Amino acid sequence: MSVDKIALTLPADDAFQRVAHLVLGGLASRHDLTVETLEELTLALDTVLERYGDAIDQVTVQMGIADGVITMDVGPFGEDEFRSEIESESDDLDVHRILSAVCDGVSVSDRDGGHWVELTKRTGRSRGAEG
């Protein structure tokens, strides 16, 4: 199983979200992902990045693709409210509902002194199927 991974740490400033979009787009291009998949991943990434608030100076985005599954880990975040926003289920159009609609897996883990949002999305393509 071959894994393609990229990690970048950005200032926690909205202006730098475009850099994360470019990196995600490059990864998608390398693996021939559909425009729809790229748009869903971009929406998921933006949904998380827009909620990190002023409490942190920088955010790290780790992206990887292996066996037809893209993973994105974003963090660390320090706010417990953020975790509850992601894990809560309601009928409102909230963070949990958006992420659940565009990703196959959404979770929050504790590591490196903060909360990390872990997103997964199946692409329907595996490295072995490329030709």
DSSP run (H or E) holding 94: none
What's residue 28's pLDDT?
87
Cβ neighbours, 10 Å, residue 71: 17
| 3-state class (DSSP) for residue 90 | coil
Mean pLDDT in consecutive groups of 10 residues from the start of the chain, 131 residues? 80 84 89 91 90 75 91 84 69 79 92 88 62 38
Residues 6+ apart with CB under 8 A from 73: 60, 61, 62, 116, 117, 118, 119
Number of structural domains the chain divides into: 1
What's residue 129's pLDDT?
42
* Domain CATH code at residue 78: 3.30.565.10
Question: What is the number of residues in the chain?
Answer: 131
What range does the domain containing 48 cover?
4-129
What's residue 74's pLDDT?
92
